[in-house]
Amino acid sequence: MTAIREAINTHGLTEKQLSQILEKMLLARALSVRQRMLQRMGKGPMTFSGEGHEAAQVGSAFTLRPGVDWVFPYYRDVAVAVTVGMTPVDILRGFFARRDDISGGGRNMPSHFSHRGLRIVSGSAPIATQLPHAVGAALAAKLRKLDEIVVAYSGDGSTSTGDWHESMNFAGVHRLPIVFVCEHNNYAISVPWRKQAAIENVSIRAQGYGFPGVTVDGNDVLAVYGAMAEAVKRAGAGEGPTLIEAKTYRLVPHSSDDDDRRYRTREEVEAWSAKDPFVAFPRQLKELGVLDDSAEKEINDRVNREVDTATDQVEREPQPEAPTAVLHVFVEEQRS
């Protein structure tokens, strides 16, 4: 309740925007559930989904200017992609490896989001390799004196990589307009955080790079939005990077190839299910009068319809034609 008031008063979010945030979260959830279902039906090769991360992802991405700011997502960021503007059709084409997939022409793994128009930059599968790319994009924006900021996403496991460190350090030295968002879900696949780092909050590392780091409740979409809005403002004002650690939980296995019962107790998963970002947020909106039951149902119906329609459409679409296999590897010359 107070969080919502603060969001409206401090950050100038309108009631319409609050509904949009909820709708993006619901859309991401529906897409994730759908992809996992289709994979189990044998219709898609593999799925990574982000159930549980929606508040962290939508709360952060909602602060960006789509098509202006640069987004370097990682594979769990379905909700980032849809918040910035990718459609369920875009996402499902990537999942089904269809010819018209905007991310990779049906060539890349699912959830390796890419969209030129929206400035979502394609990443590689190895963890954290996108972070130096993001820093390079931020350096380019700075050198060209452009009013662009860069957001780079990764999980808690990525913080142990050399790439993570080199990116943070370089961003600090050059005061780059970049926000690093760490979606801390306490597991790098099966490795728990206590085996990943000997500290409670990884955000404290930011002080070692000369910029601020904050830890927020990653299941509270408005807390994430608030921290991110501040970081984006800092970056835009030329004051340099911020590290945001959003503590959250992945409610599903790491991917369709993972059995999380081998490393997480069901009690733990249940405890976090009670903190599902969809529990508190709609209730808060209703308490404030931004949302009522019929409006909520309307949003839910719209989202489900959109995902159903996209699934039907994309399932019927063609795969890439075999002779195109070697396209999109090298720059192709324009022949007149």
Per CB under 8 A, residues contacting other proteins are 159-166, 169-170, 172-173, 175, 195-199, 202, 204-205, 207-211
Which residue, 107 or 175, is less far from other proteins as judged by CB? 175
Least CB distance to other proteins at residue 127 (A): 12
**Distance between CA atoms of 311 and 248, rounded to whole angstroms?**
29
Least CB distance to other proteins at residue 141 (A): 18
DSSP state of 333: P
Which residue, 202 or 314, is less far from other proteins as judged by CB? 202
Which residue, 44 or 172, is less far from other proteins as judged by CB? 172
Which residue, 199 or 279, is less far from other proteins as judged by CB? 199
**Distance between CA atoms of 224 and 2, rounded to whole angstroms?**
15
Q: Where are the alpha helices (H) located in the chain, listed in sequence order? A: 2-11, 15-40, 54-61, 78-84, 88-96, 130-143, 162-173, 221-236, 266-273, 277-288, 293-316
Q: Residue 264, Cβ neighbours under 10 Å: how many?
A: 17
Least CB distance to other proteins at residue 139 (A): 13
Least CB distance to other proteins at residue 201 (A): 10
Which residue, 29 or 184, is less far from other proteins as judged by CB? 184
Amino acid at 248: T
Least CB distance to other proteins at residue 205 (A): 4
- C-alpha angle with apex 168: 165 to 170, nearest 5 degrees? 105
**Distance between CA atoms of 133 and 163, rounded to whole angstroms?**
10
Which residue, 4 or 231, is less far from other proteins as judged by CB? 231
Least CB distance to other proteins at residue 199 (A): 5
Those residues whose C-beta lies under 8 Å from the C-beta of residue 77, and which sit 6 or more positions away, are: 50, 53, 57, 111, 113, 153
Which residue, 87 or 201, is less far from other proteins as judged by CB? 201
**CA distances from residue 74 to 38, 91, 105, 130, 182 in whole angstroms, order as listed:** 21, 14, 18, 8, 10
Least CB distance to other proteins at residue 197 (A): 6
Run of H or E including 246: strand 242-247
